[in-house]
Structure 1
Amino acid sequence: MLDSNLSHWLEAEADALDRGLREADDVLPQLASAGVLGLGVDEQYGGAGGDTCAAVEAIAAVAGHSLTAAFVLWGQRTFIEYLLHTDNATLRERLLGDLLSGEVAGATGLSNAMKYLSGIEELGVRAAPTAAGWQLDGRLPWVTNLRKRGFVVAAAVELSGAAPFIAAIPDDLPGLTRSEDLQLLGLQSSNTAALQLDALQLQHDWLLAGDARQYLPRVRPGFLGLQCGMTIGLTRRCLQEVERHLAGSRSVLEAEWRELCAQLEQCAAELKHGLCAGRFQSEPASMFHLRIALAELAGQAVQLELQASGGKAYLQQYGAGFARRLRESAFVPIVTPSLVQLRGELQRQAAGADA
């Protein structure tokens, strides 16, 4: 599915990207040149056509080589999804072309908002009205695809006495400060950092949505569905590595391998069917269950890869790919919304239904 040049580059650079030894800003141009940023974007907007499921599969294909690159792609494509759902056509026209070409990096910034939607935490950015728009203050502690120059970030903003709103914030506004890259266990070349907003003046024309509570449920299926593509791709790659070792004494693992392959493709099919049918807007719990199931499959698949590879996987000389996938799999349960947060939300929903 992927352009061969992109596949070869990702395979060659995967470890360097994970460990931060390759410049993070190199990732987005590679993705753009391979044409993956426009998948699932209508041709009238300059995209490649298709639906969101095509973007999910593209992220999965990239994740099979490098979860770092897939994380960047998820951030970019999710911000594009926000623009596809905004009522601000002028803002969409202003930003979408540069996002599709990779000239501008799109940072989702709505992890905090997704937790807010589920009642897990308060919004981290506050607004006070001004004549031309708002003054923003606050902090976004963990945002991916924050290129050093040339990014735009989406943020949910608390407004006293009114509904919270969603804004797009360009990187060149005074009062916006990007931290140094966060020191992550892996995925280091993903331009992941924190943002501080101090008396930032934002004009009305950067509004993505006037009511966050109405907008967030519309974009949450894309946010989570595209995120699931990362897990699907990583799990598929682990299972492909298992298959390579099934001969001889390792054949005892074949039944478990077949079962995991079947479960993975069933979950992937359910995810894509739900996205295409629009079911997850009205039934978010079904998507939460899928996200949890996929994360558990990733953990099982990487452990099965270790068993299939044997002691060789523990030798640095031979096991670099496995070691990276082990680190990548550790990210899957904690990326927002984390499995703990999802299980807590499902528990609250079940308690409410029983009340």
Structure 2
Amino acid sequence: MNVVAPITAYDPAEVERVSAEMLAPLVRKIDDERIYPEEIVRAYGKAGAYGTHIGGKDSDVDLTTAVLAMARASEECLSTGFCLWAQDTLAWYIASSDNDHLKTELLPQVARGEALGGTGMSNPMKALGEIEPMRLKGERVEGGYKVKGLLPWVSNLPEDGYFGTMFHVEVEGQDTPKRVMAIIHAGWDGIKLKLDHEFVAMGGTATCNVMFRDVFVSDDWVLADPAEPFVKRMRSGFTLLQCGMAAGIIKNCIDLIKQVETPLGHVNKYLPVQASDLEAEYDALVADVVEMCATPYDESDAFYLRVLKARLAGGELAMKAAHWAQLHQGARGYVTHGVAQRRLREAYFVGIVTPATKHLRMLIDQLEG
């Protein structure tokens, strides 16, 4: 079963209102006090921001609107933009699966922002790349799996939230365990959340470490068993959606450079990178991403390689734009509440969030090799 039509019609004017009138005035508080803007994350759902890309693998799905809505939030606040990515990705997992139960019972709530959550795939994605071991272990029991372990860094996760993740299961007679992907509810027995906000930025993201103590995961909540074919199906969309975060912060950094052209242009003209230089790279990146957003279920390695290169370019351009925005802004951007220094701190997150710059370069090398 595929969900063909958006659950809530997308309202671009409302997305703009939420960004400009609700989010923008709260950005400093989000950064300073590490508050999770739950009301705002839900408001984007009411505006239809999470429901435009959930038609499923057999439908004409386009990620463009989801990416652009995320970019608009990220122009103001990358913490919130990241929460939109997490929510979008939760919806993407369910919509891309063959699990009719989750599509019927949970997906509409996620698309409307009534059920919040994200992706617990930082560790599994790195485990798939043999960067680190899988943190969760499962055991087959009647009707599902019993799962234990400690999963780090699950974001956009309130106490009643949901997230997708993966666990290893030992199989008799096989040398290597199989991988199973499922949706988890944070309120299940055996789940314990601990906030993990010891970062220089991105504190307002409800990021948790999640302890599993013999948690029962029913077969009704399994996305893929085994997980590998499903990962190949959803990997390009997962990665493309992150480009919304990069696009938003790049655009704002260009604006920060333009803001000081009148008072500082006479000396900033000696800096080797100007707003026009960044705009040219930004326009090329966005055009490439939008073109790929039209075919997110292309499972070919050639397409995935193109996606990885765009995601890498987005992260590197975000860090580059933030660097030059800080230099153009000078001391006025380097004060405690200066926007430029916050954007610099946030931009490095785009470079280190899974798949991080080094992970992307590893995957690109493997596909090209």
TM-score normalised according to structure 2 size: 0.87
Correspondence for 1:297 among 317, 322, 326: 317
1:168-317 aligned at under 5 Å gives the runs 168-247=183-262, 248-249=265-266, 250-252=268-270, 256-278=274-296, 281-282=299-300, 283=302, 284-316=304-336
Q: How many residues align?
A: 343
In the alignment, the residues of structure 2 paired with residue 182 and residue 22 of structure 1 have an alpha-carbon distance, to the nearest angstrom, of 10
Q: Hey, what's the Cα distance between the residues in 1 that align with 2:273 and 2:119? A: 40
Give the deviation of 1:204 after TM superposition. Answer: 1.0
The answer on whether the counterparts of 1:117 and 1:213 sit within 8 Å (CA) in structure 2 is no
Greater CA drift, 13-22 or 58-67: 13-22
Shift of 1:18: 2.1
Give yes or no for the alignment of 1:164 onto 2:179. Answer: yes
Mean Cα displacement is larger for which, 197-206 or 118-127? 118-127
State the match for 2:65 in structure 1. Answer: 54
Contact 1:280 1:286 in 2 (8 A): no
Partners in 2 of 1:303 and 1:255 — Cα distance?
10
User: Which of these residues, 158, 161, 165, is aligned with residue 155 of structure 1?
Assistant: 165
- In 1, Cα distance between equivalents of 2:139 and 2:245: 37
Q: Deviations 1:126-174 (Å, cap 9, x if unpaired)?
A: 11111121111112111101112x2111111111126311111112211
Distance 1:156 1:341, change over 3 A: same
Residue 46 of structure 1 is matched in structure 2 by none
Deviation at 1:89, TM superposition (A): 1.1
In the other structure, the counterpart of 1:3 is 16
CA RMSD of superposed structures (Å)? 2.2
Give the whole-Å Cα distance in 1 for the aligned partners of 2:249 and 2:355: 18
Partner of 2:29: 16
Counterpart CA distance in 1 for 2:285 and 2:62 is 18
Name whichever of 284-293 and 59-68 sits farther off: 284-293
**Quick one: which of 7, 25, 38 aligns to 2:51?**
38
Match of 1:340 among 346, 358, 368: 358
- Cα deviation for residue 52 of structure 1 reads 0.9
Deviation at 1:279, TM superposition (A): 7.6
Greater alpha carbon shift after TM alignment, 184-193 vs 118-127 = 118-127
> 1:197: Cα distance to partner?
0.6
| Cα distance change on mapping 1:153 and 1:279 into 2, 3 Å | closer
Task: Report the TM-score when normalising by structure 1.
Answer: 0.90
1:231-288 Cα deviation digits (max 9, x unpaired): 1100110001112222341345596321211111111211221231348631222222
SS at 2:238's partner residue?
helix
3-state SS in 1 of match to 2:210: strand
The 8 Å contact of residues 55 and 95 in structure 2, kept in 1 or not, is answered as no
Q: How does 1:138-149 map to 2 (within 5 A)?
A: 138-148=149-159
Give the conservation status (yes or no) of the 8 Å contact 1:136–1:200.
yes
Aligned pair in 2 of structure 1 residues 277, 35: CA closer, same or farther (>3 Å)?
Answer: closer
How far apart are residue 26 of structure 1 and its match? 3.0
Does the CA-based 8 Å contact 1:242-1:309 persist in structure 2?
yes
Structure whose residues are more often helix by fraction: 1
Return the offset for 1:15: 1.7
- Contact kept in structure 2, 1:142 and 1:194, CA below 8 Å: yes
Q: Deviations over 1:283-318 (max 9, x none)?
A: 2222222222111211221122122222222234xx
Structure 2 runs not aligned, ≥5 long: 1-11, 172-176
Which residue is equivalent to 2:117?
Answer: 106
Amino acid at match of 1:200: V
Matched, 1:327 2:327: no
Q: How much identity, in percent, do the aligned residues show?
A: 26
For the 8 Å contact 1:246–1:253, the answer to whether it is kept is no
Q: Structure 1 residues 50, 4: closer, same or farther in 2, change over 3 A?
A: farther
Letter in 2 for 1:9: M
Q: Which runs of 4+ in 1 moved over 6 A?
A: none
Structure 2 vs 1, CA of residues 21 and 337 (structure 1 numbering), >3 Å: closer, same or farther?
closer
SS of corresponding position for 1:332: helix
Contact (CA 8 Å) 1:75, 1:107: kept in 2 or not? yes
Give 3-state SS (helix, strand or coil) of 2:54's partner: coil
On the 8 A contact 1:55/1:226 being kept in 2, the answer is yes
The C-alpha deviation readout for 1:3-28, integer Å capped at 9, x for no partner, is 32432211111121123353443332
Write the distance in 2 (CA, Å) between the matches of 1:141 and 1:135. Answer: 19
1:278–1:179 distance in 2 versus 1, CA, 3 Å:
closer
User: Helix, strand or coil: the match of 1:333?
Assistant: helix
- Residues 13, 22 of structure 1: 8 Å contact kept: no
